[in-house]
A and B are shown apart, each in its own frame.
Chain A
């Protein structure tokens, strides 16, 4: 049983390790790369969870498109390793870490406390044996959630226009545009 869970633990370790590297690396480029690795590891976890479509989207959209976007912007700025990567303030830093740690703690405690209440235990996985096909998702998406899907498309359009508009604010190197 423990042996069967080894891949999960490996992936979990990788996810947490690279997430840690993401938030601690002084160089933003390293951050981005570590984030990309985190994403890819997560995608594998998704595959393991019988969700190949989402896993694929994770790979393509997140690890691919979004991360490329990040890296492109970073390259555009030509950022070096930051001398001071973290915000100032000893007390507030302590508060931030403490509150985050406390949050993690109470979340874990909450999860462990509510294990009994979740009737989805490893024994009852009957449905999950069969991997969900993209057909099922497509059927759901284009029937039940078609309105939300269209709205999302509109949102993306807006974001595209907005992003261009925001980045064209005059000033800096492009002041002469």
Chain B
């Protein structure tokens, strides 16, 4: 089969799955729905593997598969075609999306078995998969935007999947509206790019970049990048638009794993990596991205330390890890960003699925204070979760270690980096280690605080199998991106496969003063910080259990500020949303009613009035008519006499 057809199938198969389950959405046959959806997803994974194999078979530097379907629209010189592009960057993405996606589909079969609308659920999942693939495969910004909006829609539908609960429906709406703000920025960015380059196709933008760079006038590009980044903050939950992601945990847990950890939220990172050639020309925006990324990583990690809801902890962890990715792209380390995106997809999906397994076992209990000691009830879940924990805190040689340390190294050594960014990253890593260890302690270790009426049990095979696969991936996933300094000392000298793979298509900002000694030193510092804070968490929550309360009391206001999520939501409501509502109400009550409505009424009244007037002229009175004739005659003759 040729590549074009395969690329098309990649989108068509999930769509067929969506149609199949969407048409019979009332069906409660979760096994059939899940099998169909998982098959569609699995076939996509196989196709992705085939396509990537073909890419590998191509000579280096020419690894591109394009597929043109049809001309979408033409307007003057501006033409947009619905076409796909597969190159090393999104090859990584489609493997992650379809691979992790398939595992989560399989997991969902067990998870959703007690639900009332499993078909609908799987239909949404397949629709999401389709849109996500459109997003990453699109060869121009507009096709990407279609997928971008599509995943936003699916995210909304799935967060509000249990829409009968008003809180969950509101969470879906919050996600959707917050994303809309970002989307507006994204659209503006597209417009700016179109204005600057006259095209929205990635390859054409890339070919026109050098001339623009020579002109040294990068104002529009800076603005465009800023707008695109606003779009990314919406989709990828960065400051200031991250507030939706913690609330998005109202959705089913596999959805959180798929959409809000592994795939959709990384779309912003992917988009920036895809446009990296443009972003490099806007150093100011790069700095903004790096700072925002570092702040998000730090802020979300600190919030994560104070949360009690197992999914909220993971959600803030996700926000924090996404902050790392943005920190990476902000300092020009695009390949480490993709690397961390991939490893994070593995271990965060694993942890979400693990938490799903726990919640499933605990009969929908999410509060970690009511768990504990689950290790003996759920050995497989515990073991895989352990792997995820080790991966995320950056224990070598698991996946998170390599990607996180590479990001930290770049944030220190890259020309766009700064030591303060590194410090923020290390502190965030420490916080991560703390709250993750805390999560492990509270959930799996120690004595059981499980209520008597709940009987925890290990999940069925369909749920544990994805956990095991993801656990393995969390361990080995990092081995494709071993940094050079480590590769040099490890026996066998493993190469940095991922960097080698992406290098031809991504231009990175290389560290200028790269020194192996410094890199090892920094690595050691971050490792020891993570280790120490993990030990502290262990000490706090298993050994000296009175210490958390003590520390909390000591910190007082600071602690409550953090545990209230810095009161960002309250700030938004108090300072932005409610004033906006008041302003809108004011506009409606004063401007709209008094001014705009009156204008429209005036227009209609004028028509009505002139109609009334003309009606009174035509009143059936013959003599009036004769008068009109005579007036006409008078006017005509006067006009003629005037003219002569």
> Is B26 an interface residue, CB under 8 A from the partner?
no
> Is B594 an interface residue, CB under 8 A from the partner?
no
Q: Among A87, A92, A103, A109, which residue has its beta carbon within 8 angstroms of that of B634?
A: A103
Residues of A within 8 A of B637 (CB): 103, 106-107, 110
Q: Among A92, A100, A106, which residue has its beta carbon within 8 angstroms of that of B624?
A: A92
> Is A24 an interface residue, CB under 8 A from the partner?
no
Say how far A107's CB is from chain B's closest CB, in angstroms.
8
Contact B631 A99, beta carbon cutoff 8 Å: yes
> Is B633 an interface residue, CB under 8 A from the partner?
yes
Q: Give Cα A146–Cα B627 distance, bound, in whole angstroms.
A: 37
Q: What string of 1s and 0s marks CB contacts (under 8 Å) between A94-127 and chain B?
A: 0110011011001101100100000000000000
Residues of B within 8 A of A100 (CB): 630
> Is B638 an interface residue, CB under 8 A from the partner?
yes
Residues of A within 8 A of B641 (CB): 106, 109-110, 113
Q: Give Cα A158–Cα B627 distance, bound, in whole angstroms.
A: 30
List residues 585-637 of chain B with CB under 8 A from any CB of chain A. Answer: 623-624, 627, 630-631, 633-634, 637
Chain A residue nearest in CB terms to B638? A106
Contact A95 B627, beta carbon cutoff 8 Å: yes
Q: A109-B641, A110-B637, A113-B641 are in contact. Are A99 and B630 (CB under 8 A)?
A: yes
Interface residues on B, range: 10 to 19
- Number of A-B residue pairs having CB atoms within 8 Å of each other in the complex: 29
Residues of B within 8 A of A113 (CB): 641, 644
Interface residues on A, range: 10 to 19
Binding site of A, secondary structure by majority: helix, strand, loop or mixed? helix
Residues of A within 8 A of B633 (CB): 103
Q: What string of 1s and 0s marks CB contacts (under 8 Å) between B527-566 and chain A?
A: 0000000000000000000000000000000000000000
List residues 278-294 of chain B with CB under 8 A from any CB of chain A. Answer: none
Contact B638 A99, beta carbon cutoff 8 Å: no
Residues of A within 8 A of B627 (CB): 92, 95-96, 99
Residues of B within 8 A of A110 (CB): 637, 641
Residues of B within 8 A of A96 (CB): 623, 627, 630
Q: Among B623, B624, B634, B644, which residue has its beta carbon within 8 angstroms of that of A102?
A: B634
Q: Among A87, A103, A107, A109, which residue has its beta carbon within 8 angstroms of that of B630?
A: A103
Say how far B640's CB is from chain A's closest CB, in angstroms.
9
Say how far B157's CB is from chain A's closest CB, in angstroms.
69
Chain B residue nearest in CB terms to A109? B641
Say how far A89's CB is from chain B's closest CB, in angstroms.
9
Q: Give Cα A96–Cα B624 distance, bound, in whole angstroms.
A: 9
Q: Give Cα A109–Cα B638 distance, bound, in whole angstroms.
A: 10
Residues of B within 8 A of A95 (CB): 627, 631
Q: Give Cα A110–Cα B634 distance, bound, in whole angstroms.
A: 12
Chain A residue nearest in CB terms to B627? A96
Q: Give Cα A95–Cα B624 distance, bound, in whole angstroms.
A: 10
Residues of A within 8 A of B624 (CB): 92
Q: Give Cα A99–Cα B633 distance, bound, in whole angstroms.
A: 9
Q: Give Cα A111–Cα B240 distance, bound, in whole angstroms.
A: 87
Say how far B368's CB is from chain A's closest CB, in angstroms.
90
Contact B623 A99, beta carbon cutoff 8 Å: no
Say how far B629's CB is from chain A's closest CB, in angstroms.
10
> Which of B623, B631, B633, B634 is most buried by chain A, counting CB atoms within 10 A of its CB?
B634
Q: Give Cα A100–Cα B634 distance, bound, in whole angstroms.
A: 8
Residues of A within 8 A of B638 (CB): 106
Say how far A128's CB is from chain B's closest CB, in angstroms.
28
Contact B634 A106, beta carbon cutoff 8 Å: yes
Q: Give Cα A109–Cα B641 distance, bound, in whole angstroms.
A: 9
Q: Give Cα A110–Cα B642 distance, bound, in whole angstroms.
A: 10
Q: Among A87, A103, A106, A107, which residue has its beta carbon within 8 angstroms of that of B623?
A: A87
Interface pairs A-B: 6 shortest CB-CB: A99-B630, A103-B634, A99-B631, A99-B634, A96-B627, A102-B634
Give 17 A-B pairs besides A92-B624, A95-B631, A99-B634 with Cβ atoms closer than 8 angstroms. A87-B623, A92-B627, A95-B627, A96-B623, A96-B627, A99-B630, A100-B630, A102-B634, A103-B630, A103-B633, A103-B637, A106-B634, A106-B637, A106-B638, A109-B641, A113-B641, A113-B644
CB<8 Å pairs between A and B, sample of 10: A92-B623, A92-B627, A96-B630, A99-B630, A99-B631, A99-B634, A103-B630, A103-B634, A106-B638, A106-B641
